[in-house]
Structure 1
Amino acid sequence: MEILEPRYALPSRQHFTNKALPAAQKRLRDHIQEKLKDVPAVGFTTDIWSSSVCPLSLISFTAQWIDPSFNLQRVTLHTQDFRGSHTAERVREAIEGMLNSWGIDKSRVHVIVRDNARNLKKAMDDMEMKSVGCLAHTLQLAVHDGLLSQRSVVDTLATARKIIGHFKHSPLAYSRLEDIQRELKMDVKRLQQDVQVRWNSSLYMLQSILEQKRALLVYSGSYNLPATLTTTQWTLMEKTAEVLVPSEELTKDVSMATASAADVIPAITALRCLLSKDKTTDQGVKTMKSTLLDAVETRFAGIEEEPLYSIATLVDPRYKDRYFTHSDNLCIAKDKLIQEVTKIEERAATVSEESAAAVAGPSSKKKCQEGSSSLGSILDEILEENPLEGRCVSTSAEVQVQTYLMEQPCNRKSNPLQYWKQNASRFPPLADVAAKFLCAPSTSVDSERLFSAVSNILDEKRNRLSADRVEMLIFLKKNLHLILPEYDVESESGDEE
């Protein structure tokens, strides 16, 4: 700048810290506040994170909702300092404070997705707010209980970690392994170490070591290793990886930014089907699948009875009523969906009558009651085009739900919100229910990714940043694309948990 324009005085660090960034934060906050003002239902995620480089704990709060144009909106509201004990009472106080700071009434909180920690669950119960556990965390528990906790698998994974740790801590050993890979005309790849609290990282470790089996066997013939895998253990790793692949695919699907609560029941139903199929004659694989299936059944026993999931599945045009495994649960879900539609119809009718009475007086109200509504006309047209069969229906809500469900589901790869954008005029109250229930995320991955970004800002070289500064930087990084469309960090975060 001194060469280009010597008269220009470059702003100091204090200018950005004390003026420019706070001003940008205020502008962005006002923009988000305006967007949130009239949203009837919002889905949230929350989690607690503690830094490894300084004595700082943060509580996250992210929100997502569906706007009137049926576009999914996602924002990061807080990455707030969370000092002291992480009790349920303090979590409740923090959540209530964050909601109040944005002017969000509890009645507008559709659901809060959290992990399975008791303090978070109790805090939501104390606030009388709807909350559900993160699907990815629950699946982690199911996989651990059903497979990774078995003694033979635990011992095999421990041996694999020792072998990979040997190469991780020895550049010489890695260079020798790379030479062997080249001699065998294999792709030169590094072995992947797992994180024991993430079951899918254990799968990636197994896959990486199985891929390098030939190279490792040659290496062990010439050099010493801290541990060796037996033939039985090699076979066990292959079987374990085979059984875990479907669960890993499910985790990737539900961790996508576009995933919603509607994906939970279909995903678990598909996983159950895959685990129950006997395509293989290998008794060991059958036993593993059976054990994992039992754990999945235990952990996800009541998902079809949960209205958040069941109604969301019904109003997702890709799934509708095709993925329920129990007919009783499906009947209950349909009844609850009809109740939701009826509530919206009654609310709309009340508002319409009050507006008509205020504008045209009592005679207008009578005329409105005697005439046919636009919804009734649309429903009549739909009935003529798609005559109902089977169950008799008597209310407009039942007609609307049955007509919608009788249509063929959309392509699984399609965007359900695009369907409702195009068909909202056909099913107005049902579209409102869809906007409410499809805003709920299926996992708390938004908060997980948020803390990944925090760890890149609050590192060993910047471990004295205050919590307020960290929150301001994260708020800007995650939300700046809302006012500057060209600034989009979603591609940076990827789809990792």
Structure 2
Amino acid sequence: MKDSRVSRAVGVCKKIVASFSYSWKKKRDLAEAQKQLNLPEHSLKTECPTRWGSRQAMIERILEQQKAIAQVLSMDKKLRHLIPTWQDIDVLEAVNKALGPLVEFTDALSGETYISVSFVKPTLHLLNHSILAPQEDDLELCKSIKSKILEYLNEKYSHPKVQELLDIASALDPRFKLKYNALETIATAATSTEDAPPQKKRKGLSSFFKSSTSTTGGEAIQQDQVVGAELQTYLQMETLDAEEDPLQWWKDFKKHYPRLSNLARKYLCIPATSSSSERVLSTSGNIVTCLRSSLNPDHVNRLVFLAKNL
């Protein structure tokens, strides 16, 4: 989102952080001001382009230490102009209010244990209807930022194929099932009306279990009945707690749902974000350094595997 007010306020924050980062005297004065004003003795944070949520963390810390920062900068004529104005503070508060709730979701979706693509649909639903929904006390800038974020996220996942994947993954997750409007993907589309031309049926969850080989009519009907009964039994079971591991649940109930468990293994192995692959790249960078640039690729693979799994 390009906004001159946001660009100016964020620029001021960066200059403030830089002025304190490169001066031990400023750090000392800030610590003394924090004690006098009974503020938390926290250091200022800087924005890092490659670190998610770093801008919001920087803004939040500036707002927390606003009085202490103003007290220290007011004693320096050369840096007095860096004291945020009330307009800057209003902008920073609006940005922090809009971005703050996203930090927890970003951290949650970046997990590697029981976080998969099945979490995307519930998260989008919660962001659209609760977290990023406009509030009465929101400033216009805050509403605009929330709107832009939702517009970007909804467009990102708007492709029909992506929606189908998210619906099926969410339905196969015992923590959610049909809670987030996945019913349309699981059930086949309704038959066409007399006035409308025939429409192509949407791919249903049960269609994944059908054998690719030709079967007799009786075998096909029997197979559909078995799949339908298995699916119906699964949907009638109680949902799993949100903190539980769905993969472990499917491992425990594999013998009860042999067909669904195979499909769950296919979809729930997809990570919600690219964080896991980025962590692997970071681990590789720590292993293959300038002093170890001649490592055999096979050795690198083994060392990365050991580093990530021990």
* TM band (smaller chain): 0.7 to 0.9
User: Shift of residue 240 of structure 1?
Assistant: 0.9
* Structure 2 residues not aligned, in runs of 5+: 190-201
How many angstroms does 1:340 deviate by? 1.5
Shift of 1:244: 0.9
**2:206 equivalent in structure 1:** 338
Query: Do the aligned residues in 2 keep the contact of 1:184 with 1:215 (CA within 8 Å)?
Result: yes
Alignment of 1:101-180 (within 5 A): 147=1, 149-180=2-33
Count of matched residue positions in the alignment of Structure 1 and Structure 2: 290
Contact 1:246/1:274 (CA < 8 Å) preserved in 2? Answer: no
Cα offsets for 1:172-198 (capped at 9, x unmatched): 211221121122232221111002354
1:17-416 map, 5 Å: 147=1, 149-223=2-76, 224-225=78-79, 227-258=82-113, 259-275=115-131, 277-284=133-140, 285-302=142-159, 305-324=162-181, 328-329=184-185, 331=187, 335-343=203-211, 395-416=225-246
Identity of aligned residues (%): 26
**Contact 1:317 1:409 (C-alpha < 8 Å) held by counterparts:** yes
**Which residue identity is paired with 1:168?**
S
Rounded Cα–Cα distance in structure 2 between residues aligned with 1:235 and 1:304: 41
Q: Is the 8 A contact 1:194 1:205 kept in 2?
A: yes
- Is this contact kept in 1: 2:94–2:139, CA < 8 A? no
- Which has a greater percent of strand? 1
Q: What letter matches 1:286 in structure 2? A: K
- Deviation of 1:425 (Å): 1.6
* CA distance in structure 1 between the aligned counterparts of 2:173 and 2:127, rounded to whole angstroms: 19
User: 2:153 is aligned with what amino acid?
Assistant: V
Asked if the contact 2:287–2:304 (Cα under 8 Å) also holds between the matched residues in 1, the reply is no
Q: Which residue of 2 aligns with 1:434?
A: 264
**Residue 445 of structure 1 pairs with residue 298 of structure 2:** no
Residue identity matched to 1:341: F
**Offset from partner CA, 1:394-436 (integer Å, 9 cap, x none):** 6221222233123332111111122212221211111111112
Q: CA deviation at 1:296?
A: 2.2
8 Å contact from structure 1 (residues 161, 193) kept in 2: yes
Is the contact between residue 206 and residue 228 of structure 2 (CA under 8 Å) also seen in structure 1?
yes
Q: Secondary structure at the match of 1:207?
A: helix
Name the SS for the 1:281 alignment partner.
coil
Contact 2:69-2:83 within 8 A present in 1 as well = no
Local SS of the residue matching 2:82: coil
Deviations 1:74-129 (A, max 9, x none): xxxxxxxxxxxxxxxxxxxxxxxxxxxxxxxxxxxxxxxxxxxxxxxxxxxxxxxx
Give distance in 2, aligned partners of 1:202 and 1:303: 33
- Hey, what's the Cα distance between the residues in 2 that align with 1:469 and 1:172? 48
Give the Å deviation of 1:286: 2.7
Maintained 8 Å contact 2:118/2:173 = yes
Is this contact kept in 2: 1:269–1:324, CA < 8 A? Answer: no
**2:55, 2:284 → 1: CA distance?**
25
Gaps of 5+ in 1: 1-146, 351-368, 371-375, 377-392, 483-487, 489-497
Scaled by the length of structure 1, the TM-score of the pair is 0.53
Task: Quickly say closer, same or farther: Cα 1:274–1:330, change in 2 above 3 A.
Answer: farther
Task: Report the alpha carbon displacement of residue 242 of structure 1 after superposing the two structures with TM.
Answer: 1.2
Alpha-carbon shift at residue 339 of structure 1 (Å): 1.3
Query: Aligned partners of 1:449, 1:304: CA distance in 2, in Å?
Result: 28
Cα root mean square deviation, aligned: 3.1
1:421 — aligned with what? 251
One-letter amino acid of the structure 1 residue matched with residue 90 of structure 2: T
Once the two structures are superposed, residues 236-283 of structure 1 have per-residue CA deviations (whole angstroms, 9 ceiling, x without a partner) of 111211111222222111100121111111111211122553433233
